[in-house]
Each structure stands twice: as C-alpha cells, then as structure tokens.
Structure 1
Amino acid sequence: MMETILLVEDEQPIRQMLGFALSRAGYRTLEAGDARQAQISLSETHPDLILMDWMLPDATGIELIRHIKRDSFNSDIPVIMLTAKSSEDDKITGLNSGADDYVSKPFSPKELIARIQAVLRRNTSRQTEDEVLTAQNLRLDKGSHRVTIDGNSLELGPTEFRLLNFMMENPNRVYSRGTLLDHVWGRNTYVEERTVDVHILRLRKSLAPWQYDKLIQTVRGVGYRFSPNE
C-alpha cells in the first residue's frame, strides 16, 4: 500500500519540488499551505508521516506539532520538521515539541527521502499488538487505521474510525452524546450533539452487512454503548 505524506509548507515552489520528489520515491502526497489547511486535512485522513515547515502564515510549525501530539487519534503520526533555522537551540526546540527528526534548509531531496524512510521504519517497529482492538470478528488496527470484519475491509471516514476506536477501547459503558463529542471530536470543537447521531448511523450502516451494527446500542435518554459480546 502506498504510504501517504502530508506536506505542510506555505511556499508553493517548495511544495511542488517536494511533491515531485516524494512522488518519484513512491509516496502519495497531500499538501497544506498553512496550519488551518493542515488541520482540515488531518480531520479527513490519517497520513503516515507529516513534513512540517517551521514558519507558517497562521501559526508556527511548533504550535501545530504540539496540537497534533495532544490529539490522541493523530499523536502517532511521525513528524519531520523542515526549516531554515539551524541553530542547536532551534533543533532542540523542534525535537522537544514532538518532531521525530529535524532537517535544515537547504537540503538534498535524496537526504530527505532517506530520513523519511528511516523515520517510517522506526515508527513501524514501535507498533505492537496493543494497537489492535477486536470484538468477535471485528478488527480495528490503530497503526494502519484499518478496520476489517472476517478479513473484509470497511471504508470508514476519519470520524467514524475515531468513534469506533473510542467505543471499542471502552466497551460496555454508556456514553452521553456530550461525552462522545469531548472524546472523539475534542473539547474545543463546537458542533451540535445530534452530529453524534449522524455518525453513529453511518457507522452502523458500515457494520450492518455483517449484522455487527447491533454491537452499538442506543440507551434511551442517555446515549450509546458498545457491547462486543452482543
């Protein structure tokens, strides 16, 4: 499967150059010109790695990395910082923010590709069986963001994946819509509680062909519960 890299860089010529180099190396690329675009992209997909420029129009790369690492559903994504800042203190700041590697501009595309490969290898080696959740023949792999039933892949959106992930991690407990919003969407996200119902419905539709929709139970007047043995 082709690995996906999110490239967060405000200078279009650099994005184009890096996009071309990454494509030639066999990677699929997503592009974001600022922090807001990057956050939108991360709400829609789960890349295998992020290349992050330090200086962005609406935030610093440092701030964005810290935000990503606080997000339990994206904190596993490795980040390589790209920047013209090359002092020792800058490198320490970048690495302490949560970056997995630090590459100073100007750099060779070949060197960057080698660093990407090294970071991805390290990240893969950190993945363990603890990252796989199961309920009967339903299997959720947090490392690859893949959900299968009897070996058949389910096409879930990022929100449905996060919702199923949270419920499988916390089985047999009833959660209100407000609590699910806090844990799955985040405390600083302002959406209506009925949004939860919409995504529960979508998730159930994805599980229904195997009759696994019954694992997600509605508790009238309270919220929802995941019952793995139902």
Structure 2
Amino acid sequence: MAADVTQASETDRDGTVLVVEHDPGVADLARLYLAREGFDVQLVTEPERAASAVRRLKPDVVVLDVSSGVHQAVADAAGAIPIVCVVPDGAPGPGPYTVPRPFSPRVLVSTVARALRRQEPEPQPEGLLRAGQVVLDAGARTVAAAGTAKSLTATEFDLLAFLMGRPGRVFTREQLLSAVWGSAESAGTRTVDVHIAQLRAKLGALSPLRTVRGIGYAADP
C-alpha cells in the first residue's frame, strides 16, 4: 500500500502543494510536473487521511480529486488555502480553480500557479469552437478540418484550444508559454514556434493560426 504522504521535491521550492489523488499513476504524473516547476509536492493516496494531512502540513495549495468524496472535509480543514479541484470531464467545479479529467499536466501546473497568485482563472473554452472549416470539440478533445479528424498531441490541442477560444486576440510567445505550458520559464519561446508549425502542418491550408510579426500568434475566427 502506498504511504499516506510522500514527499516529492527537496530543492528550489516555490510553494508546498498537497495532491490528494487515489490513482497512484495520476498522482505520480502530477508530482513529476509540479516538482519540475519547483514546487514541494506532498501526495496523499488515501483520501480519508486528506483532511488531517492538510491540517498537519498547511500547504499553500491543495490539488484534490473531488471523486474521492472528501471535498467538504478538505475544504473545512483548508480554510483560506486555495483548492484546485480535479473533476470529471464536463462536470462543474466546486470552486474557482478547476481542472477536468483527464487533464493535461501543464494545465494542472498553470492552474496551481494561478491559485498561488489568487488569480481568477480565465474562462476555458466549452463545447464546439469553430474557425473556418476547423472544428474543435473541447469536451471530447477532438479536432476536425473540413470533416476530417486530425490527430493532435495533448499540447497541440491545448494550444489550439487556447487560441481558438479567444479568436482574433494576439498573444506573445511568453503569454502562450504561461497559459499552455504552465510557466514562461519552463521552455524556450522556440517551443511555441515548433508547436505552431506542427499544427499548421496537420491542419494544412485550413489552419486558422496567424503569425503577427514581432508579436506572436492569433487564431482567426
């Protein structure tokens, strides 16, 4: 049986994050990405012990799988500590910081960073997003161009969804890194260029992505 609380990071700590997750594989994935960003990550794999772990560790942020059924007990123990709720896809979140399952680890990192800054999350795209003949289904995480399904990586999908969900708005590479990758410092700006190029190659002439010279990128409606 997994230990009640497992420490994940020893150095370069930007804050303590307590992850309450019953699935060890998902917990380890969250730990890997959060620790990579410098967080001191603690894992609780037995939900019934989550509230006591919150009171004992006093973390800066709690990441909670709401399907564990201990949200109220954790919320009572957390008090003013922000809680990032991992919810089933399409389900409403019980708080301002929500990540749908299955989640992109980078989205989780970005949401934890926002919770630490006490910032309200930006509206996430829901339902169908359309740009010309490109249709993105945010719930099913599928993309089609002129009716033909396109196979995208998780990061390509998140980048396209972010831009299509804000049609016409121009974002710098740094802004895209922060929004999609979770940190503007975790990867170089060249990473954005590479993923934009990959999306254009897959979507072909129907790609809605536009380069704004000297600034960044936008998705045309």
Report the TM-score, using the length of structure 1 for normalisation: 0.51
Counterpart contact for 1:138–1:150, Cα < 8 Å = yes
Q: 1:6 aligns to what? A: none
1:206 equivalent to 2:202? Answer: yes
Partner of 2:83: 97
When normalised by structure 2's length, the TM-score is: 0.52
Please identify, of 152-161 and 194-203, the stretch whose mean Cα deviation from structure 2 is larger: 152-161
Aligned residues: 156
Asked whether the 8 Å contact 2:145–2:206 carries over to 1, the reply is no
1:65 alignment partner, SS class: strand
Distance 1:35 1:225, change over 3 A: closer
Q: C-alpha distance in 2, partners of 1:212/1:148? A: 10
2:167 aligned to 171, 180, 199, which one?
171
RMSD of aligned alpha carbons: 4.3
Q: In structure 1, what residue type is equivalent to 2:181?
A: W
Retained in 2: the 8 A contact 1:32–1:38? no
Distance (Å, rounded) in 2 between the aligned partners of 1:140 and 1:149: 9
Could you say which residue in structure 1 is the equivalent of 2:31?
A: 36
Alpha-carbon distance change, 121 to 191 in structure 1, aligned in 2, over 3 angstroms: closer
Equivalent residue number for residue 91 of structure 2: 123
The correspondence for 1:220, drawn from 213, 216, 220, is 213
Partner of 1:132: 128
Query: Residue 170 of structure 1: SS of its match in structure 2?
Result: coil
1:146–1:153 contact (8 Å) kept in structure 2 = yes
User: 1:81 and 2:68 equivalent?
Assistant: yes
- Separation (CA, whole Å) in 2 of partners of 1:161 and 1:52: 32
Equivalent pair of 2:135/2:143 in contact (CA under 8 Å): yes
% identical equivalent positions: 30
**Change in CA separation of 1:173 and 1:52 when aligned onto 2, cut-off 3 Å:** farther
Secondary structure of residue in 2 paired with 1:191: coil
Report the alpha carbon displacement of residue 61 of structure 1 after superposing the two structures with TM: 10
Cα 1:39–1:225, aligned 2, differ >3 Å: closer, same or farther?
Answer: same
The unaligned stretches of length 5 or more in structure 1 are 1-8, 12-17, 20-28, 41-50, 67-77, 101-118
Distance 1:220 1:89 in 2: 51
User: By how many angstroms is 1:134 displaced?
Assistant: 0.9
Structure 1 position 199, deviation (Å): 0.7
